[in-house]
Amino acid sequence: MTTTSLAALPGDGDRDAQLAAIGVSVEQLTEARGRAQHDVDECTSLDPPGSRGSVRRMRSVRYLREGLIPHGWTPDDTGNVGAVVSPDGTVAIIATSGDAGTGLLSHKPKTKYPKGEVTQLRVRQNIQLSLFEDLTEEPLDASEPARRTWFLLQHPAGDVVRAELSYPVGSDGAGRINEWSERIILPELQLDTYETWIDDDDEGDHQVDVPVTPR
């Protein structure tokens, strides 16, 4: 099925309103991403390959939960998919790694890795809710209200981490989620990495500014 007709891609202007409709703010998302990135920067070359991406994903989930739980959200690890669910149970967010198209409106991103059955079910539920406002497919838990699942996609590119909060409605043959009915592009996060300093001869990158102002 084609899904691009389900919703127009948004511009930057209505980002805050779209996020408010989901029940989160750009600040909450940025804080969680920033804290996760801080942990990513703790990785050294002695961490195994792929650590940085894993740490970014795992810690984004944790810090997002830490930020949202005070607002009534709850963690949900059903099917080993680390989600955080809104107070009324109708919205869930999961964090995952995106490909190079992440955060670029001109591109169509897909998840970096194929997703498992539980995530695929969430995506099918998303499609049904988009089309019919009701579920024909059984939810995982009968007591669970109709839930829309959003993906926090992140992708490091050069010296920034691009990100978007997007509503998945389809996957490719390999199981990578690649169709989106709504995409909310998030601010880029500046990378401040261990990897970069080692070849960095001048001190420009981490230059400290000491504010001194006349009284």
Partner 1 sequence: MINPTRLELARRRRGWTKTKLAQQVDVSTKSITNYESGDQQPTDATLARIADELGFPESFFAEPDVEAIIETAASFRSLASMTASQRHQALGAGTLAMLIDEWIEQHFTRPAPTIPIVDTHDPEQAAEIVRVEWDLGHRPIPNMVHLLERQGVRVFSLDEQGREVDAFSFWRNARPYVLLNTTKSAEHSRFDAAHELGHIVLHRTGERGREAEHQANQFASGFLMPRASVLAAGLQHATLTTLIQRKAEWKVSVVALIYRLHAVGVLTDWQYRSLCIAASKKGYRTNEPKSVQRETSQVLEKVLDYLRTQGIHRREIAKSVHLTIDDFDRLVFGLVLLAQEGGNQGPSTSRGRDHLRLIER
C-alpha R_g of the chain: 19
Stretch that binds partner 1, among 93-101, 110-118, 140-148, 191-199 (CB under 8 A): 191-199
Nearer to partner 1, 40 or 129 (CB): 40
Nearer to partner 1, 94 or 161 (CB): 161
Q: Give the one residue of 7, 25, 38, 53 binding partner 1; rule: CB under 8 A.
A: 38
> What number of chain residues touch partner 1 (CB under 8 A)?
23
Kindly state whether residue 1 participates in binding partner 1, applying the rule CB under 8 A. no
Binding to partner 1 in span 46-75, by CB under 8 A: 46
Length of the chain: 215
How does DSSP classify residue 135?
A: -
Q: What are the E-state strand segments in 29-138?
A: 74-76, 83-85, 91-97
Task: Measure the CA–CA gap between 140 and 117, rounded to whole angstroms.
Answer: 11
Tokens matching residue 71 = 């607002």
Q: How far is the CB of 53 from partner 1 (least distance, A)?
A: 18
Task: Measure the CA–CA gap between 46 and 61, rounded to whole angstroms.
Answer: 24
Stretch that binds partner 1, among 7-15, 77-85, 159-167, 199-207 (CB under 8 A): 199-207
Q: Which residue has 């490091």 as its token pair? A: 156
Q: At how many degrees (to 10) do helices 51-68 and 26-40 cross?
A: 140
Distance of CA 90 to the CA centre of its chain: 18
Site string for partner 1, 143-182 (x = CB under 8 A): ----------------------------------------
Q: Which residues bind partner 1 (CB under 8 A)?
A: 38, 41-42, 44-46, 192, 194, 197-198, 201, 203, 205-215
